[in-house]
Structure 1
Amino acid sequence: MQETWRWFGPTDSISLRQIRQAGATGVVSSLYEIPTGDVWPLDKILEHKALIEDAGMNWAVVESVPLHNDIKTRTGEYEKYIENYKETLVNLGKAGVDTVCYNFMPVVDWTRTNLSYAMPNASQALRFEMTDFIAYDVYMLARDNAEQDYSPEQLATAKQRFDELSNEERVLLEKNIIAGLPGGEGSYDRAGIKAAIAQFIAIGTENYRQHLFKFLEGVIPSAESAGVKMCIHPDDPPFSLFGLPRVVSTADDARAIINAVESASNGITLCAGSFGARADNDLVDMVKAFGPNIFFVHLRNVKREADGSFYESDHLDGDNDMLGLINALLDEEGARDKAHSIPMRPDHGHLMDEEMDRPDVRPGYSYAGRMKSLAELRGVIHTLESIRSTQ
């Protein structure tokens, strides 16, 4: 697999030089300065690509070309935005950037309630705490009919938790949930998120799924002609938040997406941390089922709890079978043309002492934490490949 690294562009506190020193050969990046829905001009793509190549790496994956909400709701100027998206894919193909990761999550992108969860070794991890989320949804956001989505026991526990929170803790909880996280598509205030939630709930899950399929029907032919592979990122967490529709959470969801538009350009991003936050998603089986349509991999591990809570564990110490997953991915890669390795990146990393007081470190995207994770994953891959070579 190709070792890659997420880079947030020239304003990233982590330089391309540092990324190369960490051992990555590919960069996962985006044109973050271009407003969602606008066409990515070819000259801007080439300029960004040149920065990466001048540092000795290649632009392996675009993560992401965000979808305008009009596309997701199929309202307003969605037809224009789909045409813009198609033009962007064509321009990426002309530039030789051939893999695009995207997501179809409504309203909130990847969501956590705690961005500094204390680990036993005093490093900090990202955590999704169900009780805290319910406390925010029901007793702070006061979403219409929110209490109907939870059991009496969950509501009682969440109310107790909400009552215990100081005003400062409530402000931080809201910021963590709705203010936007790295790689996301923006932020909301409280009134804005309530209005957006109501709009998407009204669409319903099955209609929302059809919106995704119609988007794919519109853009995949352009991607295919441009030589670009589209790989959808799963919902994170992979279950409904705020009563919103979720359509990329399970193996059945992934299968439906691949079957909706049968094309060598229509695939998935296998995010081990996102899919793996559900115990009923068997990651190894998913590789075996969807292997040829897996175009990008996020390697991340989690510790799951019975109520849906989880935290991001060390990469080799979680509930997901990381060794089995990597072994299955190497099997899949071995069945492909040798020129087409699967790009993977260490997804997130723990925050450690030397970066803990730096305000420019993005949650989940510390340098030392990801470098540690990449080194661990590199060791697993090297060991498994060495074993294969002697068999």
Structure 2
Amino acid sequence: MKIIAYSYSNPLLEPAADINDWGWEVDRVYQDLGQRIQLQQLITDCQTETTDYLLIHRLEELGDTFEEVSDRLHELEAMGIMIIATEQPYTSQHSHIGGDLWKLLQEIQNQHHSRRIRQGHASNRLQGLPPPGKAPYGYRRSQEKYTIDRSTATVVKDFFEHFLLYSSLRGAVRYLAKKYGKKISVTTGRRWLTNPVYRGDTAYQHNQIISDTHTPIISREEAAQIDRILRRNSLLPSRTASAPRSLAGLVVCSHCQSHTTVTRVTQRHQDKEYIYLRPINCPQLPKCRAIPYQQVLEQTIEIICRDLPLAVDGINFPQLDSIKNSLGQAIARQQEILQQLPNLVTTGILDDQTAKLRAYKLRTEISQLQAQLATLPPVNLHSVAQAVSIPQFWFDLSEAERRFYFREFIKQIEIIRNSKDWELRIIFIF
């Protein structure tokens, strides 16, 4: 008894199937990728050699249209071969069952229709064309790429600049509503901040990204800074990212392990206001006492000016430079291969479709490497640390500006309580 198997995959739509996973002992496997050359070889071999069974995952693999599938089924079954579809309820000896066969034929037609649509989308991906659907706010669709819509791009750019200045998503959303009358939800604002389109990239299925497909609204440096802010804000307690006070969300009481909240105390018939940091959920009895906000702020600035340059000096910059150089070299190698593809097509080593598929994979790999490079600390960290180690720098800032810089460097501020006093310990991000 001779058993053969046939597998077909379109590289544009899916990875190649595992040709060794049939659940049967197979004498030979025929596999096609993109074109059905091996299928024709299978038919030719079956005309000269007796074959009992043909295994196939799904019947639609036998052709690109329903007519092709039907013709090849009849041709193979006319040779006395029993065809078994491992992922569908079909075997040749049961093909006379009307209801099941009709449902199966309908499924094959639907699958072919779906594949034609997906192939069209895949062809657009290989050419770097935008995916189907409405262009993101700030852009409009052209035939080959997204182009900036000058009437709305200003709104988006202003949104990004406000977020970069104050690191507050909710604040940027309120700013748009107040200045432009453009009302968006916080969820929409977060999507804008992470949308590759605003960075000049195009995202396709499975989060595959191709870089530099159109004109960006924000630069690579701004995009990297936005990502750092979002990662940093995700570690803070809820709603403290946009709190008006610069220490909000950063201070923790080491005695009760509770985060602190900023509270205001006023006296009747007096304009003076007292601001304190108080533990939110202190389980101690008596509860840990509140501490004057201004004292914590001043001591925080004092410690930053003293310890931040030392912390930056402790970073292994040679190793960091090595990582950056390694990523840069990997990007350069991929770009060099990308530039060689047209010559390979001209000399006939690669056909046009294979070259486009290879270029697509190279460009997505380059985008991944660039994303890794963007997550690394900025190269001017030493000079920044020296600039912010001057106390007057901090006192000249507004609370919103101080909040931005604090969260750029500080992971957490711990209040360490003694019997009668307290002191601070600052944990830096790096």
Q: Structure 2-normalised TM-score?
A: 0.21
Q: In terms of Rg, which structure is larger?
A: 2
Higher normalized contact order (CA 8 Å, seq sep 6+, divided by chain length): 1
